[in-house]
Structure 1
Amino acid sequence: MTAVTDQDHTDEMDHADHADNGRDADAKDERPENPPPVEDAQEIGDQGDTDGHARVQAGSPGRTESKAAVHPTNPTDPEESTGSWDDGLIARRVNEATAAQQAAAVEIRASRTQAAHNAHHTAPVPAPLAYDGPLRSRLDALRELVGLSRTRLDSGTLAEAGRVLDEAAARRRLSGQHTVVAIAGATGSGKSQLFNALAGVAISETGVRRPTTAAPIACSWSDGAATLIDRLGIPGRLRRRPLQSAEMEAQLRGLVLVDLPDHDSAAVAHREQVDRVLALVDAVIWVVDPEKYADAILHERYLRPMAGHAEVMFVVLNQIDRLPGEAADQVLDDLRRLLDEDGIALGEYGEPGATVLSLSALTGDGIPELREVLGQFVADRGAAARRISADVDAAAWRLRPVYATGRRTGLSEEARDEFAARLADSVGATAAGEAAERAWLRNANRACGTPWLRLWRWYNDRREPTTGRMPVRAQADEEATARQRVEQAVRTVADRASGGLPAPWAQAVREAAVRGAQGLPEALDELAARAGLPVGRPPRPGWWPAAVLAQASMTILQIVGGLWLLGQIIGFMAPNLGVPVLLMVAGIIGGPLVEWSCRLAARGPARRYGLDAERRLREAAAGCGRARVLDPLAAELLRYREVREQYARVTGAGIGAG
């Protein structure tokens, strides 16, 4: 194939300019000094133009011709037209029969524009892109992941994942029969020459002026790609068609090739356009030259971050005609080494990865091989899905720090039990149980003790308030100590629950614990009051009536013996010291003995009564802590487990993977 050189393009421009000078003044006045590229009538209809005009030029591969080349004898009659366009894209096609002629600028009637517009809308619509089951599942998981994480992660963290979802949905609605491939490269790498060589016609401007390509230019090998090019934001005046060739169109049918500005251009707007279009295309051809193939900007800004997109990436070493002998192979080997260091898998020996080729767009060496590989790539119709899958991988990798963790997460039973024990200590559950035990024993002593001891205790109770109830914790220092214990318990359980979690989720767990701790000390005090000792005396065992009767008998013996001795002393009764003394001694010894026996028998029930009171208070404190702190922590941990499972689906690791 004949290569298009900068000098040839300049000569063609000069030839066209000389031909323009030979036109009559009227035609010159009607045509602008620099006529814009021609818009196809169908494309004009798509763009919504209302004037129905199209300006036409023909005569060289570097020029454009209209959809209808008008006969010079009747330039306004569309029925005399000799050319015909079959799609809505602007094109530059070579007509060998009229290659030496220069057509004048003409006006095409609005009726023909409307007819072309109607024809365009009645054309068959290409089938939309279809994703396979695994990719659909990953996209659904990513969408669910973003939804679950919006309240926990900032919008900036989820921005890339949201963009991938939006682009995947937008690409799915568009043609699945076309593959959009961008040609990107540095200044002077010859990407525009390669673009023209693949198209077979000079479409993109080449030359020594830098930067040469100022805006993306699209070239489509088949119809139905207008919506895809619209998505790239390429206007109608920058849309082209390749040289008419049945073999070439059959080989590259479905290809939409985009020539990008230089990624290292001095113009910031050019670099911004490169970044914008690279995020939307299905694949990219990176063109490098022997001088800049190791450029740090290319590798650090583009190739290394896009290492996961190796399957939709071509790396072409251009201008090998400048390398003598085996130097081209050496440079190509060094390029492969750099790509390997960037983490880009190379598609060698049938393995999936980037395709690396060497060629010369100037001489045509290697162009057929690239066209063949590119044709197979386009015919596969899988580039768009692989690009979306790689975007999902990249988004998942960026989100890895906020979802993945190498440590075991969750709240163990040991941590829960320790938290409940700390809360029980803060409300004095142990002390309350001991107080309940003492109350039971004291009640037993009231029933089974000697009358004289009971009288003494009654006297002491009148002097001091009872201590049989739960100790009153109204003192300021005791309240402060209890509050500190509660706060310490909450901090400890929050730290254990958040241990091993990524930073955003750990922060969410700690915030949930802080919210639950608000008002917890007061709630515990209220529960302690309700769950303390029941009102009234502790229950009595069944043997207490017998013990009370025995103690009453001992008291009666003491009284009877005492009265008998008193009667003998005053002479009312005959002297007989043995019996009354025996009765008094029996009563005096039997009363404490009965009391001591009852106390021994009451230890078991009193202990159980105290433990039951402590258990009730512990359960009440644990329930309060569970409702206010542990349940919110568990909810946060459950949400994290859900997003972790969704993240595992996004990465393809399977549900349940960490």
Structure 2
Amino acid sequence: MDGPNASAEPSVVDPLTVRVEALGELLGLSRTRISPDELAESSELLARVGERRRLSLDHTVVAMAGATGSGKSTLFNALTGLELSATGVRRPTTSRPVACAWQPERAAGLLDRLGVAPQDRYARYGLRDMSAPVPAETGAERELEARPQGRPERQEHVLPCLPGQSGAPDGASHCSVGDGAEAGRDLGDVKEQSLDGLVLIDLPDHDSAATGHREQVDRLLRLVDVVVWVLDPEKYADAALHERYLRPLAGHADVTVLVLNQVDRLPGDTADLVLDDLRRLLDEDGLAVGEHGEAGAVVLAASALTGQGVPDLRAVLAQIVSERAAAGRRLAADMDRMASGLQPLYVGEGGAGLTDPAREEFVDRLADAVGAAGAGQSAEKEWSSAAWDACGTPWSRLLGERAGSAGCSRFVRKMTGSLGRRTNGPRWAEVRPPAQLAKEQSGPSGLRPTASRPVIDEAVRGLSADAARGLPVPWARAVRDAARRGGEGLPAALDAAAVRARPRTPERPGWWSVAAAVQWLLMALALAGVVCLSAVGSGSLDMSWWPPLVTVAVGGVGGPLVSGTCRIAARGPARRYGQAAERRLRDAAADCGRARVLEPVAAELMRYREVREQYAVVAGSAPASARLLPAGRPSDRRTGGVPAPAGNRGDRLSHSSE
């Protein structure tokens, strides 16, 4: 792209955008397979991410959270340089969140989302209700001109001090007088440590006895970009704090700051001992602070009353605000945590898919259920019997030695037809009245096929077990349900397919007619020889008895010899006919199984593969090309490609005692 801002254009799509879009696709593909309760957190996160990204990304929302008596409100006032949040011995002191915004333009939407009341919103450059516009001032900046309606005036604690006035440090905008506190002092040069874009929230106490405070804190902690946890030497090891709040933040170290407040109360080197113990607890919580050298949350020691550590905390916040990346980091960390919770629903123990052996075993079982092998053997025997009857001696036909059995008489009649005539028998698949069809299907060679239901059920169960092996529970259940639904109508479908796949009566081979003609000729020779022998024996014919005897022998022996030869010749065609019948029935069973079971199961597996790919993107484990950052922004491995704050990581334990 040409132009002066070409270098600022991203080289690829923002990775968080890719992950959010993948999450939407993931939820859409999963709604009919996973219960809404299991996807509630993901749906809520998707909505939360969309809301946050639609609002100002130039502002960083930082919440100050802590227990009763931790001094967070005092520290909040020290950071703002204004006494905005009530402090005192009465508990709880903070009953609702108080917000102070630096450069408040476009911050109102963020505060609306947080639910901060209009009377509790303050602009850093003018103590005014943020619901009203802040007019531009001419000449020297005039601050603290108005106070919000309904809040007691505390002008005796904070007075305006313009640069150069007595009591104001060079370059400072405020000074603190009245109670001797140093909370508003030494905040540094505004130009060097600008907090423009910061929205600082003082939360109620998370352990407050007041009804609703904890719910309010829990809701706001899900919505802010950065959390500053203010701990005190007495409650820093509280189990409820670590189990309910800090331990779930194990993946949010980049957007978590911990301040051990009230260190002025600790004598000697006790502060160092408490900090070491706090670091140990945070290490156990997974915030990775300290001995292991891993990236972790920032830890500071401070005293809101004496001002110790306040400049360090302000510097940390200034750096976070200047990077304009905390919102993205927080959302990415939320995505990481959500993806970790969804892993059992989308990641199984093995690969998903039906193997070729599993498919073949399923088809083999269906073929057994419809009796494909038996049907092939029966067809082979019937073809051989028909060949024997067609090519046998006329004596065997007349005496019914071969054609007299009920099992092959109908098939033999179709195959043999009239002597010496090629014919095609009626097709098994011809449309005939049901009564006629039932009548024709009587007898061993015409039994109406009935698929074995136990064998079919076992085949379906075996296939579903193979397909669901290694899948997460919801998708294994979906695969089994798909197989079960298809298996319910499979027996009837196999019965109908078996009827359609019955062997067609083949054309009468030409050599059968030749063999039959030879048989009749041989029988005629034998009869002629017998007549001649009778005539010679009675003296009515004067000839040697050898010619008629040879004629009888040729006719009598030649017939069985031709029959035996034809029987041997019929083995190959009979085998091929039986194999074709078995293959046709097997293919029909396979088609039914494929349409009713295999394809639905394969569709479920395909859907799972799609959601597995989308989950990989959501979890940040997609190919690197899909997770590149805009040009000039380094990637952070732990947060799934979201840039990490420079200089705010590692074991950071700061003191301002020097």
- Give the drift of 1:177: 1.4
Matched residue, 1:185: 66
**Does residue 31 of structure 2 align to residue 150 of structure 1?**
yes
Pairing 1:206–2:206 present: no
Deviation at 1:338, TM superposition (A): 1.1
Question: Could you tell me which of 445, 463, 482 is aligned with 1:512?
Answer: 482
Q: Secondary structure at the match of 1:305?
A: helix
Structure 2 residue 572 is matched with structure 1 residue 604:
yes
Aligned to 2:120: 238
Contact 1:645 1:655 (C-alpha < 8 Å) held by counterparts: no
- CA distance, structure 2, for counterparts of residue 370 and residue 277 of structure 1: 21
In the TM superposition, residue 350 of structure 1 has moved relative to its aligned partner by 10
Letter of the 1:148 counterpart? L
Letter of the structure 2 residue corresponding to residue 563 of structure 1: V
Name the residue aligned to 1:68: none
Aligned match of 1:216 in 97, 107, 121?
A: 97
Corresponding letter in the other structure for 2:24: R
- Inter-CA distance 348–310: structure 2 relative to 1 (3 Å threshold): farther
Separation of aligned partners in 1, 2:274 and 2:290: 18
Aligned-partner residue type, residue 514 of structure 1:
R
1:497 aligns with 2:454: no
- Give the distance between the partners of 2:237 and 2:407, measured in 1 at CA: 94
CA contact (8 A) 1:646 1:655 kept: no
Contact 1:146–1:162 under 8 Å retained in 2? yes
Correspondent of 1:620 among 585, 588, 592: 588
Give per-residue Cα distances to partners, 1:298-323, cap 9 Å, x unaligned.
11111111111110000110110111
Q: What's 1:197 paired with?
A: 78
Q: Do the aligned partners of 1:347 and 1:355 also contact (CA within 8 Å) in 2?
A: no
> Match for 2:533 among 565, 570, 573?
565
Counterpart amino acid of 2:393?
Answer: T
Over 3 Å counting, the alpha-carbon distance change for 1:486 and 1:380 in structure 2 is: same
**Matched residue, 2:603:** 635
Partners of 2:567 and 2:115 lie apart in 1 by 96
- For the 8 Å contact 1:138–1:650, the answer to whether it is kept is yes
Q: Amino acid of the residue matched to residue 240 of structure 1?
A: Y
Structure 1 CA distance for aligned equivalents of residues 293 and 189 of structure 2: 25
Contact between 2:104 and 2:123, CA under 8 Å: does it hold in 1? Answer: no
3-state SS of paired residue (1:521): helix
Structure with the bigger RCO (C-alpha within 8 Å, sep 6+) is: 2
Task: State the 1:649 CA deviation.
Answer: 0.8
**Any idea what the Cα deviations from partners look like across 1:44-97, whole Å, max 9, x if unmatched?**
xxxxxxxxxxxxxxxxxxxxxxxxxxxxxxxxxxxxxxxxxxxxxxxxxxxxxx
**Whole-angstrom distance in 1 between the partners of 2:288 and 2:405:** 92
Separation (CA, whole Å) in 2 of partners of 1:456 and 1:298: 103
Distance 1:504 1:177 in 2: 41
Shift in Å at residue 603 of structure 1?
A: 0.5
Q: In structure 2, do the counterparts of structure 1 residues 579 and 465 end up closer, same or farther at CA, with 3 Å as the change threshold?
A: closer
C-alpha contact (below 8 Å) 1:221/1:249 kept by paired residues: no
Give, as a single letter, the amino acid of the residue that structure 2 aligns with 1:652: G
Rounded to whole Å, the distance in 2 between the matches of 1:177 and 1:390 is 19
Query: Where do residues 282-297 of structure 1 align in structure 2 (5 Å cutoff)?
Result: 282-297=225-240
Please say if residues 187 and 211 of structure 1, whose CA atoms lie closer than 8 Å, have aligned partners that are also in contact: yes
Change (3 A) 1:284 1:462: closer
Task: For 1:499, give the aligned amino acid.
Answer: R
Write the letter of the residue equivalent to 2:515. Answer: A
Could you tell me whether the CA contact under 8 Å between 1:304 and 1:343 is conserved in 2? yes
Matches within 5 A, 1:481-492: 482-492=452-462
Structure 2: 5+ residue runs without aligned partners?
1-11, 126-142, 144-171, 174-187, 412-440, 627-658
Give 3-state SS (helix, strand or coil) of 1:263's partner.
coil
Distance 1:463 1:323, change over 3 A: closer
1:319 aligns with 2:262: yes
Match of 1:437 in 2: 380
Correspondent of 1:362 among 305, 317, 328:
305
1:580 has 2:461 as partner: no
TM-score normalized with structure 1 length? 0.76
Closer/same/farther in 2, CA of residues 576 and 416 from structure 1, 3 Å limit: same
Distance 1:191 1:444, change over 3 A: same
Q: Once structures 1 and 2 are overlaid, which stretch shifts more, 566-575 or 171-180? A: 566-575
Aligned twin of 2:109: 227
- 8 Å CA contact 2:464–2:480 kept in 1: the answer is yes
Distance in 2 between the 1:404 and 1:618 partners?
37
Which whole-Å CA distance do the structure 1 matches of 2:410 and 2:376 have between them?
13
Separation in structure 1 between the aligned mates of residue 572 and residue 605 of structure 2, nearest angstrom = 44
**Residue 51 of structure 1 corresponds to which residue in structure 2?**
none
Check the 8 A contact 2:221/2:227 in 1, yes or no. Answer: yes
2:114 counterpart letter in structure 1: L
Does residue 170 in structure 1 map to residue 51 in structure 2? Answer: yes
Mapped partners of 1:459, 1:373: distance in 2: 104
Cα distance in 2 for residues equivalent to 1:514 and 1:629: 8
Residues 471 and 363 of structure 1: is their aligned pair in 2 closer, same or farther, counting only changes over 3 Å? farther
The 1:248–1:185 alpha-carbon spacing in structure 2 relative to 1, beyond 3 Å, is farther
Q: Structure 2 vs 1, CA of residues 310 and 295 (structure 1 numbering), >3 Å: closer, same or farther? A: same
Structure-to-structure mapping, 1:152-551, within 5 angstroms: 152-224=33-105, 225-242=107-124, 245-246=172-173, 250=191, 251-346=194-289, 352-457=295-400, 461=404, 466=409, 471=444, 479=450, 482-534=452-504, 536=505, 538-551=506-519
Cα 1:617/1:356, change in 2 over 3 Å: same
Secondary structure at the aligned position of 1:454 is classed as helix
> Is this contact kept in 2: 1:222–1:249, CA < 8 A?
no
Give secondary structure in 1 for the equivalent of 2:223: coil
Instruction: Give, in whole Å, the separation in 1 of the partners of 2:447 and 2:502.
Output: 16
* C-alpha displacement of 1:347: 8.8
Judging changes above 3 Å, is the alpha-carbon distance between structure 1 residues 591 and 133 closer, same or farther for their aligned structure 2 residues?
A: same
CA deviation vs aligned residue, 1:145-172 (integer Å, no higher than 9, x gap): 1111111111111111111111111111
CA distance in 2 between counterparts of 1:134 and 1:463 reads 78
Q: 2:407, 2:445 within 8 Å by CA — same for their partners in 1? A: no
In structure 2, do the counterparts of structure 1 residues 304 and 585 end up closer, same or farther at CA, with 3 Å as the change threshold? same
Look up the equivalent residue of 1:623 and give its one-letter code: D
Residues of 1 paired with 2:343 and 2:595: CA distance? 32
Q: Can you list the C-alpha shifts for 1:74-125, whole angstroms capped at 9, x where unaligned?
A: xxxxxxxxxxxxxxxxxxxxxxxxxxxxxxxxxxxxxxxxxxxxxxxxxxxx
**Shift of the alpha carbon at 1:546?**
3.5
- Distance in 2 (CA, whole Å) between partners of 1:166 and 1:324 is 48
User: Aligned equivalents of 1:418 and 1:230: distance in 2?
Assistant: 62
Matched position secondary structure for 2:300: strand
Measure the CA separation in 2 of the matches of 1:471 and 1:248: 104
Residue 605 of structure 1: how far off its partner (Å): 1.0
Query: Kindly tell me: are residues 234 and 613 of structure 1, through their superposed partners in 2, closer, same or farther at Cα, counting changes over 3 Å?
Result: same
Structure 1 SS opposite 2:377: helix
State the match for 1:120 in structure 2.
none
What TM-score comes out, normalization by structure 2 length?
0.76
Give the helix-richer structure, 1 or 2.
1
Residue 594 (str. 1) matches residue 562 (str. 2): yes
1:329-356 Cα deviation digits (max 9, x unpaired): 1111111111111111349999753111
